[in-house]
């Protein structure tokens, strides 16, 4: 009986999705946890995302207020992102502390898992799975293995 109560208490502390832990003041994503099953989590992030692609940041739009939008030249796509260039909100505000938002750099490649933001925009968050392309080898392998890569051209 005590074992069952302990299991339920631990289970209640786990986030419901890879992103849910990011709502807290400290950003701890499920896939950052030691021993996380990255293949299973990549599949889950793929299901949740509206667009999944590998792209290079070619422009970053900033303003005194409002979101920061990164424009990506799409190199490979697995879901959505049918255009050659895709705009994604990466930060809600240009200033202030952020533990989970993405700080992109011009010219860097990223594997992006984007979710809808309103009716026409996309957004991403560190816990959505977006990461530097150079660090995305396992996720790219999983996506390719699943056979979801959209043909080029």
Least Cα distance to 127 among 9, 7, 16, 53 occurs for 16
> Tens of pLDDT along the chain (153 residues)?
544 433 333 333 333 344 444 544 456 665 555 556 778 888 888 888 999 999 999 999 987 777 889 999 999 999 987 889 999 998 876 565 556 677 889 999 999 999 988 777 898 877 888 888 998 888 898 898 886 544 444
The ranges assigned to domains in the chain are: 2-145
CATH topology of domain 2-145: OB fold (Dihydrolipoamide Acetyltransferase, E2P) (2.40.50)
pLDDT at 16 (0 to 100) = 39
pLDDT at 36 (0 to 100) = 62
Distance separating alpha carbons of residues 22 and 30, to the nearest angstrom: 9
- Reported in sequence order, the residue ranges of 101-150 that DSSP labels E, i.e. its strands, are 109-117, 121-123, 131-132
Distance separating alpha carbons of residues 130 and 136, to the nearest angstrom: 9
């Amino acid at each position: 009986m005590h074992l069952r109560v302990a299991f339920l208490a631990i289970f209640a502390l786990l986030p419901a999705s890879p992103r849910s832990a990011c709502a807290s003041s400290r950003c701890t994503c499920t896939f950052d946890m030691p021993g996380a099953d990255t293949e299973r989590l990549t599949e889950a992030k793929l299901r949740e995302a509206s667009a999944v692609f590998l792209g290079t940041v070619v422009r970053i739009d900033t303003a005194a207020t409002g979101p920061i939008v990164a424009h990506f030249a799409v190199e490979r796509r697995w879901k959505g992102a049918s255009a050659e260039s895709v705009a994604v909100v990466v930060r809600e505000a240009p200033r202030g502390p952020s533990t989970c938002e993405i700080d992109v750099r011009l010219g860097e490649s990223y594997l992006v898992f984007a979710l809808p933001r309103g009716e026409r925009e996309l957004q991403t968050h560190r816990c959505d799975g977006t990461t530097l392309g150079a660090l995305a080898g396992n996720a790219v392998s999983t996506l390719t293995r699943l056979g979801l890569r959209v043909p080029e051209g």
